[in-house]
Amino acid sequence: MGGIRRVVLDVDIPSNISTVELAEKLGRVSGVKAVNVTVTDTDVEVLGLIVIVEGDGINYDEIKRVIEDLGGAIRSVDQVIVGEYILEVNPQLIRER
Amino acid sequence: MALVNGRYVVLGFLDSVLTTLILGEAVSGTAKLIVIVTIINLITAFMAEYIEERASLSRIEKSLLRKRGSLLRTSLHRRAIYDALIKGLIFGVVSLVGASVTEFSMGILEFFGIPIVPLIVLGGFGTLMSKYFRGNAILWFMLYIVLGLTVSLLGHVINSAY
């Protein structure tokens, strides 16, 4: 079985950190092929983000290190996909729970 | 990255010119006064900026619900030190220019003991700064000259009193 293919994180970062810089740094992590950083919440000091990282054999420790080095905090790991291919979740299953 | 804003240019130049004008007669030795003004301003600006940056980091730590001091090992803190250094350096360099120009031009032309050249330089600086915020150039030229004149007279009064 392959390594991590996708990670979805709920992240808070200081508002003086550029989301472009964060995305670019995450894009340079080994195994990462695509990064999506979406701002979900804005405050005076803090930005709330959903960070989606996709690739092949993503180095999660390095992802964590990049976020923390920029002063960010991972609030929760909302999705992790590991394997040979991306196994999507059926939204109906979540709704039925 | 640190923003090269007008605050440190105005503060550095004005502070160094006025300090040199007021202490010009009291401190003997041209280089001595220039070095004193430059070093004091450089250190003061760095410390003031660093304290402000640390306070900002502390507020961010609180907002992020992180442990106190946890951001000190991040690039955010390294950036804060770098920003404070750059701002301190700008303040120091501008102070060096201001103090040098004033000190070297003080004796060129005097009118009743008032050094004319530094006052004109100060007026020119006021005009230049008025462009920064689209102010009235003549008004700011006059304002800076009056400021220099007042400080210069104050320097004379202090020096003759002690």
Q: What is the pLDDT of residues A13-63, one digit of tens each?
A: 999 899 999 999 999 999 999 999 999 999 888 999 999 999 999 999 999
Q: Return the pLDDT at B28.
A: 64
Q: For residue A26, give its domain range.
A: 4-96
Report yes or no on B14 lying in a domain. yes
- The count of domains in chain B is 1
For B1, the 3-state DSSP assignment is: coil
Q: Return the pLDDT at B1.
A: 44
Q: How many CA atoms lie within 13 A of B141 on its CB side?
A: 9
Q: CA B12, CA B95: separation in Å to the nearest integer? A: 5
Report yes or no on B1 lying in a domain. no
Minimal Cα distance from A65: which residue of B?
B74
Report yes or no on B78 lying in a domain. yes
User: Looking at beta carbons, which residues of chain A come within 8 Å of B74?
Assistant: 68-71
Q: Return the pLDDT at A4.
A: 96
- The count of domains in chain A is 1
For A97, the 3-state DSSP assignment is: coil
As a dihedral over the C-alpha atoms of residue A67, residue A51, residue A44, residue A70, rounded to 10 degrees, the angle is: 10
Q: ipTM of this predicted complex?
A: 0.72
Report yes or no on B162 lying in a domain. no
Q: CA A73, CA A11: separation in Å to the nearest integer? A: 6
Strand A4-14 vs strand B114-115: parallel, antiparallel, or unpaired? unpaired
Report yes or no on B13 lying in a domain. yes
**Per the CB < 8 Å rule, is B76 touching A12?**
no
Q: Return the pLDDT at B2.
A: 46
Six-digit token string for B46? 């760095």
Block residue for tokens 């804003």: B5
Q: CA A54, CA B43: separation in Å to the nearest integer? A: 47
Report yes or no on B57 lying in a domain. yes
- A76 - beta bridge partners? A10
At residue B137, φ and ψ (nearest 5 deg) are -60, -45
Report yes or no on B115 lying in a domain. yes
Q: For residue B47, give its domain range.
A: 7-157
Q: CA A87, CA B45: separation in Å to the nearest integer? A: 55
Report yes or no on B88 lying in a domain. yes
Interface probe, candidates B53, B70, B71, B75, chain A, greatest A C-beta count within 10 A: B75
The mean per-residue pLDDT over the stretch B42-64 comes to 91
CA end-to-end distance (rounded Å), chain A? 28
Our CA-based measurement puts residue A69 at a distance from the nearest CA of chain B, in whole angstroms, of 4
Six-digit token string for A33? 């092929």
